[in-house]
Structure 1
């Protein structure tokens, strides 16, 4: 009697349930062919496109019936997806964004390590200044300790330019005259320099990469020159082997203002 009752209950339950209660991902058009209507199902509905629907547990009374018709795993059922961590977490080795002050400090440190990135000091811009010296107009005065070159204008005024000067042991003082002027000069390192720097080229034609820059004014019969530079960040420093170094734009300006025979006083 008990066995017959159990089978009857199972048969009645199976007639009430049209489809298994599994999660469905409706993402394709309905298959072609005649529609099949189950006992408890209305008219066929048009095909739907939807995202995955989270399965919900039905209330089947628990126990043996729940085990048979509940949401037990199957090959077509829902399988949980692995959790994907969002970017920006420490677990992904991505640190939080750096605040603006830290970013600025880092950029300054990087620029300090690369001389070519150093900004030009505005103190060394060309400017008209007062001059109280005794040199006459047209004279060039080189102030080696303070790294300025003055072109005396007369009437107590002078044009002042920033310069780079000799390294320790290569500075000098004296009076010279401009013996020659050249635009985009070629460069032939003297033997004394090649002895110190055998890696230097024996000769280099004039051009933007030439260490003498855009212009050169030769000082008497010496090896010294007032010349341009393709390294403007060196202005205001002790950098040369005795030559007076200027920015290219400044040496071009000075070149056009002085003549061969001009007096040069180096202090």
Structure 2
């Protein structure tokens, strides 16, 4: 499977995007009202804003997904083409790419999506009784194989559980307790699902409220330059990808099989809830702030969480 196919599965967002302003990238700027002849008020897009990733590439949002934008920009916002004007070509940095043996997701505009990746995103949740032998068994029908997790050598407090819930958060809310190294997904009827997690080490821990702005299966990982500076060993793992220097999605990617991207308002926190290639770190404080999960648990949570879900990280 090509790098392009792995990158095309984008639900709700592209990691690291920020709103673009005329003089200060990363901040919102509302422009003039959208043209009156637009079908939905924004010419088919969700809003009249531009979004910019950490590498300076521009995007617009359509149907909750982000599409590369190579049109005109004035005052920090996109300028619609005049009716009958020739279509602007994409920039040389983002040429159109054909994706053979792929299909378009019904009801979703934008690039084609590899069928295997689509199936991964649509994997149904297992709502039967939690059987650890089944829950942590190897997964062979995902785009990349997920090895079995040896749950017998793990503290039971960090294994997937269904529990009673008497707290005040609404169903669908994710509550993370860094001290207990546990993540709880509140469900209806006084129930919840709890998972063990790895959290930020000293100096990288955080707390607050955010939302799941997007979800991605087998995502690419783009470590910040500061992280690469702190860890020179990463230099040998990264390569030039479509959106910058990073590690392509796959079995060796630190984000694992699934990732949920956490934003606060219109700003990417740069924190993720994600799978891991180091399941032995679950129950420990070792990350750079992200919330790590056993890959099988990340897949299970991914299938239950909606884009827009509230995430509460306790102090």
User: Which TM-score applies when normalising by structure 1?
Assistant: 0.55
Match of 2:250 among 207, 212, 226: 207
Match of 1:121 among 149, 155, 159: 155
Give 1:183-222 correspondences, 5 Å limit: 183-200=217-234, 201-202=237-238, 203-220=246-263, 221-222=268-269
Structure 1 residue 125: deviation in Å?
1.0
1:68-91 Cα shifts (integer Å, max 9, x gaps): xxxxxxxxxxxxxxxxxxxxxxxx
Q: 1: CA distance between counterparts of 2:169 and 2:205?
A: 22
Give 1:162-177 correspondences, 5 Å limit: 162-177=196-211
Q: Match for residue 165 of structure 2?
A: 131
Q: 2: CA distance between counterparts of 1:257 and 1:154?
A: 12
Q: Does the CA contact (< 8 Å) of 1:120 and 1:232 recur in 2?
A: no
Q: Considering fraction of residues, name the structure with more helix.
A: 1
Structure 1 residue 136: deviation in Å?
0.2
Q: Considering fraction of residues, name the structure with more strand.
A: 2
Q: 2: CA distance between counterparts of 1:214 and 1:237?
A: 20
Aligned-pair Cα RMSD in Å? 1.7
Q: Does the CA contact (< 8 Å) of 1:163 and 1:246 recur in 2?
A: yes
Q: Secondary structure at the match of 1:223?
A: strand
Q: Secondary structure at the match of 1:254?
A: helix
Structure 2 portions without partners, runs of 5+: 1-149, 239-245
Q: Does the CA contact (< 8 Å) of 1:119 and 1:233 recur in 2?
A: no
User: Which TM-score applies when normalising by structure 2?
Assistant: 0.47
Q: Match for residue 227 of structure 1?
A: 274
Q: Match for residue 254 of structure 1?
A: 301
Structure 1 residue 133: deviation in Å?
1.3
Greater RCO, 1 or 2 (C-alpha within 8 Å, sep 6+): 2
Q: Match for residue 185 of structure 2?
A: 151
